Structure 1
Amino acid sequence: MLPILVGESIKELDQEFILSKGILSLDLMEQAANAFTNWFYGVFEDKEVQIYIFCGPGNNGGDGLAIARLLSENGYSINVFYLKNEKDCSNDFQANFERLPKNISATNFEKWDKKIEDGGIIIDAIFGVGLSRVLEGPISDLICELNSSLATRIAIDLPSGLPSDSVTTGQVFHSDHTVTFQFPKLSLLFPEHIQFTGDLHIIDIGIEDGFLQDFSKKAFYIRKQDISSRHRFFHRFSHKGDFGRVLFIGGAPGKLGALFLSSYAALRTGSGLVSCAPEFEDSIGIQVPYNEIMLYQVKSNTDLAEMDAIGIGSGWGNTIDPDYFLSIMIRFNKPMVIDADAINLLASNPFLLQKVPKNSILTPHVKEFERLVGKVANHAERIEKAISFAIKYEVILILKGAHTLIALPDGRQLFNSSGNQYMATAGSGDVLTGMITSFLGQGYTPENAAICGVFHHGLAGELASESKRRGMVASDIIEKIPTTFVELKIS
């Protein structure tokens, strides 16, 4: 997985990498500029469009100047604006300023006529990860002016004004695209910052993953290439028992759909035997919409040891006896997946939290999470509370949303890269519960079950939304689960 570094470590990383490779910082800047322009060529092919690059005095500005040169050499029309006189800027800024071709117009931003051609492209190279203050004065006014233009806006590494690790409180450049180098900066994953970051693109500038590991503070970004090694592989002599016997408990009257979504998702994820236990006195008249799902009745003395995994809470309702929930956890006494109404039951009966089997997987959305830990002010605080909760109760907490967070009992934080906005639909979380429970029942470790479940869920959503977009529903996600195994070459 790709390590996510805090802002204060990034400069140290660059220096160590430069020393290890025997190159100059200017060489690394050139690698970054080449990576950016290669991305740019694939997205913006029109060479007649006017490009406006605003460069700050530091190395982010140096990146902007190198990019200006490369784009100009490839036939694009470039206008450069810089904030400070050349001699007041970083050494690498000065070196790239000297390299600018004569045909590029380079102007101090104080002399800018404030004209941006409609349909043009603005590239923000003003401030990068080194910024630790709120923008004010003329710079804040400049950012405000750029944000009001009818142009496509691109930020290099970080939108100017955005801190790398915390929630912003000031003026920030509003990007349509943020092109960040080598790994995402933590603040780019905050929901509060979506208006600033736009579409996020992580581009490789040649720093190996192994080199990054030494600088990580336990935060990582899950990518497509990280998934295959997490999977178990089965052979032609495997039988349905090898693929797991899983049980879903929930489905109060009026909420059976949630339980069936979880159960069907488990089948599509590969479970060998799937049962569901609706919360009814008499389940004889219940019609199960999928022939492969078996009905099961959980009573106060039912032996649950035969099950490989249990997912509990989907559509369970708010009238469940806490002692009944406690008895299930005691009788099963293995990691389980806890979602929805089961999480609400834990929140309203804190004594149950101490009885949750170690390494169980909790999958709250934001509101359910706040019922567990109390109100939070922002996503940075939410992340910290998720980490503390996972450590305290020795569980895996999956905080659902864009860039879903997996908080592990050892303090690691894993952020997901798959999924999109079209997955914000009723039942999507029940599908995730079914998928994670399926992997757990197939013999995956709880950590790998969580990682594979979250990534495959997001990927299935991406695939389903290609033709459905806003019309996508949870069952569409389920139908694309098998395709995710094909996409990832999982046999």
Structure 2
Amino acid sequence: MQKLFSSCYELDQKCYEKYGLTEDILMEHAARGMAEYIQYHFEKGSSVMIVSGVGNNGADGIVLARQLEGAYRVRLAVPFGVKSPMAERQLQRAEALGVSIVKELYDSDVIVDALFGAGLSRELNKETQYILHQLNSFKGHKIACDIPTGVGENGNLMPMAFHADVTLTMGAYKESLYLDESKDVIGKIIRVDLGVSSKKYEANSRSFLLEEGDLKLPIRTRKNSHKGTFGHAAVFCGEKEGAGIIAGMASVSFGTGLTTLVVHEKINPPAYLMHATVVPDNASALAIGMGLGGYFESEFLQNHVIHSHLPVVLDADAFLSRELLSILEQKDREIVITPHPKEFTVMWKILTGEVLSVEEVQSRRFEMVRMFNAKYPHVTLLLKGANMLIVQEEQLYVNPLGSTKLSKGGSGDVLSGLIVSLLAQGYTAIEAAINASMALVMAATHYRGASYAMLPTDIIENLSSLEGLQQV
């Protein structure tokens, strides 16, 4: 788990004021991090095309050109000249060393975008857009310095952006790198240290980036146990019964001792799933909303869900129900909600009367989850997306490991099943949301079939391999 920051300005200032480091020193290390990446992946003599902007992000690129000069065939383009004193100084140094300053852009083994860094708040002019179009047309390996040009200060994607294979971000991980709409242009994200370790560079943070190693599986170590030891999940199975069945299958496969589908009529689930017309007395967690429709009457929901004390997962059709959303007011209950952006807009309108578009939610995802958290701090919200955002009590977690394989009906039902499974086994709401989201994406990532072919049942089958992955 890594710390995540909205800005690195204060962190840089600490380096200057507390550690006595200069802007020049930080810049040398930023460039050194990029140089080491290139040296590791590309043989000496490879061609490198660096395009630098007018400010300090451009200066990072200029320093990189100087550091690689001699061992690599370096071309440096500074299409708009330089403006910051540091950029001017670095350009003088590069010229003194004999770095080739060019006006034309050339396809090369490595293409480095150092035009604009984090904090870009204005639209790109036509000349910059043309440069990006050229760079994107090249076949070389594309590296973004700090953040791709065309990704705004909050992570919003502009009409034209550099399409990086890898983004080498400076100092610390930034929230702006994890907005869904920019995921395809940012590529792989690697942090570069700036002359001090990340532990010394970073400050306290309430935002965190999840990594595969953060997954804590419900591995059974207790020998004196029985099925009741590992909880009893009750999954409400509504009009579209397949959704509830998938959630129930995921629940069983992730460790619950018992899983019961709550139904009105007889169904034919897998033999290992029980079904009943009421919530069993020994149930330890509930999941409701998946394919629910209007299947259960208000009195039934009041008796078995709303007035229950059990931990609960709300998903899908639950966000259409003012009655079920009243659960969010219950402060002494473990509650997890898992809306996708469209469901979030519907829920928010019911809760507040405020109308949001899906586009607004997607362009302001971090702001939206914090806005919800301010109103319901005790509720664990998991906002689905390419980068899942999980928040409770002002602590925010980003799961960046999503896969296009999950873009298929039923994946969300699996997630709900995983969460209720962990709740039933005694995990807290935030623990259940984090670990279920990690299990979902890791099971999908390690599916070996074609990306378009994965079924929800394939995710469930792959859950059994997660323990082995952690031991590798």
Normalising TM by the smaller chain, what interval? 0.7 to 0.9
Aligned to 1:360: 335
Aligned to 1:371: 346
Aligned to 1:444: 427
Letter in 2 for 1:177: V
Helix, strand or coil: the match of 1:485?
helix
TM-score scaled by length of structure 1: 0.83
Letter in 2 for 1:175: A
- Distance (whole Å) between structure 2 residues aligned to residue 436 and residue 398 of structure 1: 11
- Distance (whole Å) between structure 1 residues aligned to residue 127 and residue 245 of structure 2: 58
Letter in 2 for 1:273: L
Aligned to 2:399: 416
Compared CA separation, residues 264 and 154, structure 1 to 2 (3 A): same
Letter in 1 for 2:251: A
C-alpha contact 2:318 2:325 (8 A) present in aligned 1: no
- Distance (whole Å) between structure 1 residues aligned to residue 431 and residue 365 of structure 2: 23
How far is the alpha carbon of 1:157 from its aligned partner?
A: 1.0
* Residues 1:26 and 2:24 are matched in the alignment: yes
Q: 2:47 aligns with which of 31, 45, 50?
A: 50
C-alpha contact 2:337 2:380 (8 A) present in aligned 1: yes
Compared CA separation, residues 392 and 472, structure 1 to 2 (3 A): same
* Residues 1:62 and 2:59 are matched in the alignment: yes
- Distance (whole Å) between structure 2 residues aligned to residue 337 and residue 385 of structure 1: 20
Compared CA separation, residues 202 and 321, structure 1 to 2 (3 A): farther
Aligned to 2:209: 221
Letter in 2 for 1:385: M
Q: 1:104 aligns with which of 84, 88, 99?
A: 99
Runs of at least 5 residues in structure 1 that lack an aligned partner in the other structure: none
How many residue pairs end up in the alignment? 462
- Distance (whole Å) between structure 2 residues aligned to residue 37 and residue 236 of structure 1: 53
Deviations 1:289-329 (A, max 9, x none): 2x32222221xxx5x55211111122222343344323222
Range with bigger deviation, 328-337 or 13-22: 13-22
Range with bigger deviation, 477-486 or 158-167: 158-167
Equivalence map 1:227-306=2 (5 Å): 227-228=215-216, 234-252=221-239, 255-277=240-262, 279-281=263-265, 283=266, 286-289=267-270, 291-298=271-278, 304-306=280-282
Compared CA separation, residues 367 and 484, structure 1 to 2 (3 A): same
C-alpha contact 1:6 1:164 (8 A) present in aligned 2: no
- Distance (whole Å) between structure 2 residues aligned to residue 431 and residue 132 of structure 1: 39
C-alpha contact 1:359 1:446 (8 A) present in aligned 2: yes
- Distance (whole Å) between structure 2 residues aligned to residue 350 and residue 311 of structure 1: 13
Aligned to 2:351: none
RMSD: 3.1
Runs of at least 5 residues in structure 2 that lack an aligned partner in the other structure: 349-354
Aligned to 2:89: 94
- Distance (whole Å) between structure 2 residues aligned to residue 72 and residue 219 of structure 1: 39
* Residues 1:471 and 2:453 are matched in the alignment: yes
- Distance (whole Å) between structure 2 residues aligned to residue 32 and residue 310 of structure 1: 49
How far is the alpha carbon of 1:140 from its aligned partner?
A: 4.4
How far is the alpha carbon of 1:267 from its aligned partner?
A: 1.9
Range with bigger deviation, 160-169 or 185-194: 160-169
Helix, strand or coil: the match of 2:229?
coil
- Distance (whole Å) between structure 2 residues aligned to residue 130 and residue 222 of structure 1: 24
C-alpha contact 1:335 1:357 (8 A) present in aligned 2: no
Compared CA separation, residues 294 and 172, structure 1 to 2 (3 A): same
Compared CA separation, residues 420 and 310, structure 1 to 2 (3 A): same
Aligned to 1:35: 33
C-alpha contact 1:312 1:339 (8 A) present in aligned 2: yes
Aligned to 1:14: 12
How far is the alpha carbon of 1:364 from its aligned partner?
A: 1.2
Letter in 1 for 2:388: T
- Distance (whole Å) between structure 2 residues aligned to residue 335 and residue 78 of structure 1: 60
Letter in 2 for 1:479: E
How far is the alpha carbon of 1:93 from its aligned partner?
A: 6.1
- Distance (whole Å) between structure 2 residues aligned to residue 470 and residue 41 of structure 1: 36
Compared CA separation, residues 356 and 368, structure 1 to 2 (3 A): farther
Compared CA separation, residues 102 and 311, structure 1 to 2 (3 A): same
C-alpha contact 2:63 2:90 (8 A) present in aligned 1: no
Equivalence map 1:134-153=2 (5 Å): 134-136=123-125, 138-153=127-142
Q: 2:76 aligns with which of 73, 80, 102?
A: 80
- Distance (whole Å) between structure 2 residues aligned to residue 96 and residue 116 of structure 1: 20
Letter in 1 for 2:89: Q
How far is the alpha carbon of 1:69 from its aligned partner?
A: 3.5
- Distance (whole Å) between structure 2 residues aligned to residue 310 and residue 350 of structure 1: 14
Q: 2:383 aligns with which of 381, 391, 399?
A: 399
Helix, strand or coil: the match of 1:288?
coil
Compared CA separation, residues 209 and 441, structure 1 to 2 (3 A): farther
- Distance (whole Å) between structure 2 residues aligned to residue 135 and residue 195 of structure 1: 19
